[in-house]
Structure 1
Amino acid sequence: MSRSTRTRSIAVGLIGVGAIGRLHAKHLASRVPGASLAAVADIDRAAAEACAAECGSPDVYDQYHDLLQDPAVQAVVVCSPPDTHAQIIEEAAGSGKHVFCEKPLDCDLDKIDRALKAVSRAGVKLQVGFNRRFDANFRYVHEAVGSGKVGQPYTLRITSRDPQLPQASGSRATVGLFLDTMIHDFDMARYLTGSEVVSVYALADAMIEGSEEIDTAVATLRFASGVLGTIENGQTAYGYDQRVEVFGSKGAIAVENEKSHQVTLTDATGAHAALPLHFFVERYSASYIAELSAFVDCILGDTEPLVTGADGRIAILIALAAQRSYEEGKPVVLGGSLS
């Protein structure tokens, strides 16, 4: 992005001030060059007002429809509940606003397809919030695999475990583990291998004592390139467990957990090291800023978003196939449905 282009500013409206919405608001307010937080909307007006006051946003709405009618707003960041995403994207596109939408795009493919058609019709940008693509570690793996440094990839292993959370907290209560948590990993699987998933087999259960919802799952993937993949999700007693390995004909490349420090103390009782960073805010702070910066850049430079609506839709297809596999107890072939 050129210096002259960066002197322009995109006025962004935020829809939804939950945990991820507040994080994006803080970044838009001061850490994303070329962006300003112009308005905030949430059905909880008090929460919206608090977020706006903290981040210096001049306008507050309790209905997102009103924000979409604000002529000062050029783009929106959608952080509302997942089952509202596609509708808001469709309406935002109809109002001529560029859209950054948190994952998942929605849970209903028909609604997603209507939204994507609206975006195409309006000629606005749509970027999906798969922030892990913007993490420096995973980007290095993506580039290394793509340039042949591990040779022909054979296997992919993704471990993605959250710290233990209150039962049915956040969007997982609405859409379930495959669409809320593992959907990040389905996108990462495509990104790291450079290949499409052709079949998925998923096992899942409620492992944590007292749990009524699925909290642990393993998915095995077969890719068009022949790569075999495994994804493991769960909840830990030790922090945010985020690891990746790609193994191929020439070698392997891996990402280990990030910690608050890399010091190991060894004494008579053993070797002691720091635990993984606690959760997504600590682990992925830089990637959240990078993805919003990329969104602003694609608007200012009139380029295609680095994570498109099509990417968001494909991740949904894989997640729905995993859910079906779990329910039916057998592999599900995606075939030509990734289009």
Structure 2
Amino acid sequence: MWQLLSRLVNNKLLLTQLGKQCKRGLSSSTEKKLNVAVIGGGRIGQVHMETLSFHTPLAKPVMIVDFIEKVAKSTAEKFGVAKYSTDFKDVLKDPNIEAVWICSPSSQHSEQIKALAAAGKHIFCEKPLAITLKEAEEVIAAVEKAKVKMMLAFQRRFDPNFARAKQCVQSGAVGDVYAVHLISRDPAPPPIEYIQSSGGIHNDMAIHDFDIARFMTGSECEEIIAYGACRVDPKIASEGKDIDTAITLLKFKNGAFCTIDNCRQSPSGYDQRVEVFGSKGLVRFGNNFPNNVFIEDGQSIRRSDLPFNFFMDRYTDAYRNETKEFVKCILENKEPPTSGRDGTAAMAMAIAAKKSLLEKRPVKLSEITA
């Protein structure tokens, strides 16, 4: 009898567990998914499409757009997306698409954001919002008028190292922030053709550092002094009309200072380091490596490998985290953590830095934003 009762009890428990699992499966399968599209099938578009397709269960890519039909078609096939197009206006016509990831060339962002906002689509945009501050303000006004959500892709904020350092600063671990030091160096210069149209080192490279400086200090920049030279490749100066090595000093409204150290070539690979120093101490972190293996012999103790040599590898988690966060913001009706205002602030800092470099003097942000 006891054996019979035991079997009955065990069977009841098993049925209860199966019932719970079925409910969880039903809930997961019926949970609302966000229908999304990606404009731009290039390198960064592929990254976001992969995250939306394979790492974000509550998102469903339904269209990919690229002006090169072969790219649009192959991307759709690669990720199992039902529709592809060479015209972003097809996204506007599709009522099922709720949010759009803009990964197109910078010169197209302004037009696309305005059109998408007017069509009621939520927008995730790779930087920049626009080419000029005036255009950027027009874009923000269009988004606010349409009452859609827009998030600008400053991916470093979503990297585990940057995010944890910010948490430490916010918790008061360093006390009042006195100084921030940012090192940001690329493994190799980009093509001269890119530099000729990028707006210069402060616009295409240091703009991430300008955003992180605001992020870490929690304040707005009021004055910038920039120094620079061409030390890596003389063609960057003669043909690109730019510099490749820069030191930029920022003064913030809360009294904090920040130094930014940029170079277009680092022999040891992608170099990304941060230190935040304050009244109680400091927080800092160094480069990410493919592994934690060290070699120890009679000559030295050293790492077995160099840091990550490509920003896509260094910031894999960050790119995924920012995309998943925007999906969450839309579904939960929350404000995105990075906005168009963050984009215009960093853009104004880049303009001020370039002006300081050319005119060899400190430049107040009020000169740029007035």
**What does residue 246 of structure 1 align with?**
276
Find the partner of 1:93 among 105, 112, 117. Answer: 117
Instruction: Provide TM-score, normalisation by structure 2.
Output: 0.86
* Count of aligned residue pairs for this structure pair: 337
Distance 1:222 1:118, change over 3 A: same
Question: 2:217 matched to which residue of 1?
Answer: 193
Which of 242, 248, 255 is the matching residue for 1:219?
248
Alpha-carbon distance change, 6 to 76 in structure 1, aligned in 2, over 3 angstroms: farther
Structure 2 match to 1:275:
306
Structure 1 residue 312, shift from structure 2 partner: 1.1
Question: Are the aligned partners of 1:5 and 1:300 in contact in 2 as well (CA < 8 Å)?
Answer: no
Counterpart of 2:365? 334
Q: In the superposition, relative to structure 1, how do residues 32 and 79 fare at CA in structure 2: closer, same or farther (>3 Å)?
A: same
Match of 2:260 in 1: 231
Worse-superposed segment, 63-72 or 328-337:
328-337
**Distance in structure 2 (CA, Å) of the matches to 1:183 and 1:226:** 21
Q: Report deviation, 1:229.
A: 0.5
Matched ranges for 1:17-96 at <5 A: 17-96=41-120
CA contact (8 A) 1:107 1:175 kept: no
Amino acid at match of 2:288: E
State the Cα RMSD in Å. 2.0
Superposed displacement of residue 123, structure 1: 0.7
Written as runs of structure 1 = structure 2, the 5 A alignment for 1:4-23 is 7-23=31-47
Larger mean CA deviation between 206-215 and 57-66 belongs to 206-215
Aligned twin of 1:162:
186
Structure 2 counterpart of 1:289, which letter?
A: R
Give 1:172 shift: 7.5
Of 233, 249, 260, 2:290 maps to: 260
For 2:212, give the aligned amino acid. Answer: M
**What stretches of structure 2 of length at least 5 have no aligned partner?**
1-26
Larger radius of gyration: 2
SS of the aligned residue for 1:319 comes to helix
Q: What are the superposed Cα offsets for residues 103-126 of structure 1, whole Å, 9 maximum, x if unpaired?
A: 121221121111111111111000
Identity %: 38
User: Which residue, out of 131, 134, 142, partners 1:110?
Assistant: 134
Higher mean Cα deviation, 285-294 or 47-56?
Answer: 47-56
Question: What secondary structure is seen at the aligned counterpart in 2 of 1:317?
Answer: helix
Aligned to 1:308: 339
Q: Is the aligned partner of 1:317 residue 2:348?
A: yes
Q: Which residue of 1 is the match for residue 7 of structure 2? A: none
Question: How far off its partner does 1:68 sit?
Answer: 2.2
Q: In structure 1, list runs of 5 or more residues that go unmatched.
A: none
Moved over 6 A (4+): 3-6, 336-339
- Measured in 2, the distance between the counterparts of 1:252 and 1:162 equals 25
CA deviation after TM superposition for structure 1 residue 26, in Å: 1.1
Query: Quick one: distance in 1 between partners of 2:295 and 2:123?
Result: 48
Q: 2:167 aligns with which of 143, 164, 186?
A: 143
Q: Cα distance, 1:271 vs. partner? A: 2.5
- Deviation readout 1:123-174 (Å, 9 max, x if unpaired): 1000000011111111111111122111111110000111104423658743
> How far off is 1:287 after superposition?
1.1
Query: Matched residue of 2:192: which SS?
Result: coil
**For residues 242 and 216 of structure 1, what CA distance do their matches in structure 2 show?**
15
Residue type at the aligned position of 1:312: G
| Of 186-195 and 172-181, the range deviating more from structure 2 | 172-181
Do the aligned residues in 2 keep the contact of 1:183 with 1:319 (CA within 8 Å)? Answer: yes
CA contact (8 A) 2:289 2:306 kept: yes
Give the deviation of 1:192 after TM superposition: 0.9
Alpha-carbon distance change, 142 to 257 in structure 1, aligned in 2, over 3 angstroms: same
With structure 1 as the length reference, what TM-score do the two structures score?
A: 0.94
Provide the rounded CA distance (Å) in 1 between the counterparts of 2:343 and 2:327.
18
Query: Deviation of residue 327 (structure 1)?
Result: 1.5
Aligned-residue offset at 1:188 = 0.5
Partner-residue secondary structure (3-state), 1:226 = coil
The answer as to whether partners of 1:107 and 1:179 remain within 8 angstroms in 2 is no
Aligned partners of 1:64, 1:238: CA distance in 2, in Å? 40
Structure 2 distance, partners of 1:8, 1:102, is 26
* TM superposition shift of 1:283: 1.0
The answer as to whether partners of 2:129 and 2:139 remain within 8 angstroms in 1 is no
Q: 1:152–1:114: structure 2 CA closer, same or farther, 3 Å change rule?
A: same
